[in-house]
Amino acid sequence: MKSPVETEILIIGSGLAGAVAAISAADEGKQVLIITKSAELKSGNTPKAQGGIVYTSSGDTPEKLKEDIIKAGDYHYWNKAVDQLCISGPELVNEYLIERFKVNFDLNSDKTTSAELSFTREAAHSEPRIIYSKDKTGDSIQTATLKAVNNHPNITALTDHTALDLLTLSHHSIKSADIYEKPACFGAMVLDNQNGEVKAVYAKRTILATGGLGQIFLHTTNPEESIGDGIAMAWRAGARCFNLQFIQFHPTTLFGSKDRFLISEAVRGEGGKLIDGNGNEFMQSVHEKGSLAPRDIVARGIHQTMLDTGQPCMFLDISFKKRDWIEKRFPSIYKNCLLAGVDMAAEPIPVVPAAHYSCGGVGVNLAGHTSLKRLYAVGEVACTGVHGANRLASTSLLEALVWGHEAGKDAAQFQEGDDYFPQIESWVEETEEIDPALIAQDWLTIKNTMWNYAGLIRTRQRLHRAQTILRNLQNEIEDFYQKARLSPSIVGLRNGIQTANAIITATLEARESRGTHYLLEDGE
């Protein structure tokens, strides 16, 4: 192993949360190293965000936003965190995104109010307070933010570098007495994806910004890098994680597309009907509003009918409308369906619900500090207490911005002991090549088990079955991980199974069926 690399602040992940944390810490004059496992800095869930980010419009107040957030989250919230988001969120959107990064948010087309931002309202928002950049808000925000990262003299950015594990005094120091110190993190072990080399990166402070975990489920809107690495690393390091049972599912995504493309709820709003493979309108027997029932109920209705009928997807039919009208009303959905070989003007769209957002994660305080000394977590990997048991639309980019800013600032305030970097054991490079078929099959097991037993509808029996399957699999994977020549795919598999098991444990421990965690009594 090469001698350790040293930096003042290490940030793992270059989505919005990691990028803002990097800028915020670098503004304080600290040397920042930001790494991402992807080939490009622009990666993760951030560029996928379509709808927008919460700001504030005339007539809106922090109190109104707070009320909407806590209602959506089924009143399972941390008061101080929601206050922080509602009060400083809009200020930081203005400071960073509008004034500093100059994100090209859509402007009002009304010439009399030229240069004013255009606002939209989304489901469960009492005010039209969301700003957006066409239907690719996350991409526009991330392009502008990464420009600032690349231009900052105090930031070094490395792509194609995968964090394997956090370095902690209790797990890695070779000085035995360090076990008596308060648990602390002093960096991470990092794999260079290109040459397979593993190096220790020592850091006074480490910030986890690894994003979501949707890819541990069979169907997801998340890109392939979102497999919960941060939760897995934090869990192994002994940092407190919570609310992991709360996974938000989107009801209708395009079945057959690589990254499940969202089929907006507006298609059902315009009369689109959900049918099964035999043309039966199954939602009528689930809810009085049929296909227009609330999001959670539709998602569960689709899922249950898939289980009952053994069909791999359901269908959303709006083909009774004229082609011209469909093309004009839903241009992007129409185009993406055609790319996937579906002509929505002539046939029903195959749809499945999909894992979309993780409301829980590594527990943090208002500054993004975790339960481990010198370790922070920001963005989707963190659990701030804002989203509670379910997330209000367009609040996650805002949370990534607010906690990214706070954590970067806080991490830059070094304290005594932050420059303690103990010696660690040399890394032993193993050489066994792992059969790719094992990795592919193990992922299928994880994704299917999580989808069917720990997805939209859970029972204790299903969860116990999942636990047995996944614990056994984890033992097997750990066994071959220890002997394997390391590659991003082995590291990812080890993290994916760890995160899946963490979710199962949290879900079995959850005391109540609430928000996105829908638990049926066995036999119900």
Ligand X SMILES: Cc1cc2nc3c(=O)[nH]c(=O)nc-3n(C[C@H](O)[C@H](O)[C@H](O)COP(=O)(O)OP(=O)(O)OC[C@H]3O[C@@H](n4cnc5c(N)ncnc54)[C@H](O)[C@@H]3O)c2cc1C
Taking the complex as a whole, the smallest distance from the CB of residue 396 to ligand X amounts, in Å, to 4
How many residues bind to ligand X according to rule CB under 6 A?
Answer: 43
Residues of this chain, 226-255, that bind ligand X according to CB under 6 A: 226, 229
Q: Which of 217, 357, 480, 518 binds ligand X (CB under 6 A)?
A: 357
Q: Does 388 bind ligand X (CB under 6 A)?
A: no
- Name the active-site residue from 205, 260, 268, 295: 295
In the bound state with ligand X, the residue whose beta carbon lies nearer, of 261 and 480, is 261
Where does this chain touch ligand X (CB under 6 A) — which range of 68-76, 219-227, 421-429, 448-456? 219-227
- The DSSP secondary structure of 222-239, one letter per residue, reads S-TT-S-HHHHHHHHHT-
Give CA angle at 511 (510, 514), nearest 5°: 80
Q: Which is nearer to ligand X, 499 or 501 (CB)?
A: 499
- 378 vs 85: CA distance, rounded Å: 13
Tokens read off for 417? 């002991």
**Considering only 55-63, 221-229, 317-325, 450-458, which stretch makes contact with ligand X by CB under 6 A?**
221-229
Nearest Cα neighbor of 372 from 206, 146, 247, 516 is: 206
Among 7, 46, 252, 370, binds ligand X (CB under 6 A): 46
Q: Determine if 210 is a binding residue for ligand X (CB under 6 A).
A: yes
**Element (H or E) spanning 273, and its range?**
strand 273-275
From 89-97, 210-218, 263-271, 338-346, give the range in contact with ligand X by CB under 6 A: 210-218
Span near ligand X by CB under 6 A; candidates 38-46, 101-109, 337-345, 364-372: 38-46
Which CB atom, from 38 or from 501, has the smaller least distance to ligand X?
Answer: 38
CA of residue 256 relative to chain centroid, distance: 22
Choice from 165, 380, 410, 442 touching ligand X (CB under 6 A)? 380
379 binds ligand X, rule: CB under 6 A? yes
Nearer to ligand X, 76 or 356 (CB): 356
Residues numbered 400-429 forming contacts with ligand X, rule: CB under 6 A: 400
Report CA 467 to chain centroid distance, whole Å: 23
Does residue 103 belong to the site contacting ligand X (CB under 6 A)? no
Q: Is 494 a catalytic residue?
A: no
Q: Which of 84, 82, 89 is nearest to 66 (CA)?
A: 82
Say how far apart CA 490 and CA 353 lie, in whole Å: 28
Long-range pairs of 508-513 with CB within 8 A, sequence gap ≥ 24: 508/460, 508/463, 508/464, 508/467, 510/245
Among 50, 88, 390, 516, binds ligand X (CB under 6 A): 50
- Binding of ligand X at residue 35 (CB under 6 A)? yes
**How many Å apart are CA 353 and CA 358, to the nearest integer?**
15
Q: Which of residues 5-34 bind ligand X (CB under 6 A)?
A: 12-18
Numbers of helices and strands, H then E, in the chain: 14, 18
Nearest to 41 by CA among 179, 114, 139, 132: 139
523, amino acid identity: G
For the chain, the 3-state helix, strand and coil shares in percent, each to the nearest 5, are 40, 20, 40
Which one of the spans 25-33, 195-203, 224-232, 240-248 is the region binding ligand X (CB under 6 A)? 224-232
What residues act catalytically? 295
Residue ranges that bind ligand X, judged by CB under 6 A: 12-18, 35-38, 43-46, 48-53, 137-138, 162-163, 209-212, 221-222, 225-226, 229, 262, 357, 379-380, 394-397, 400
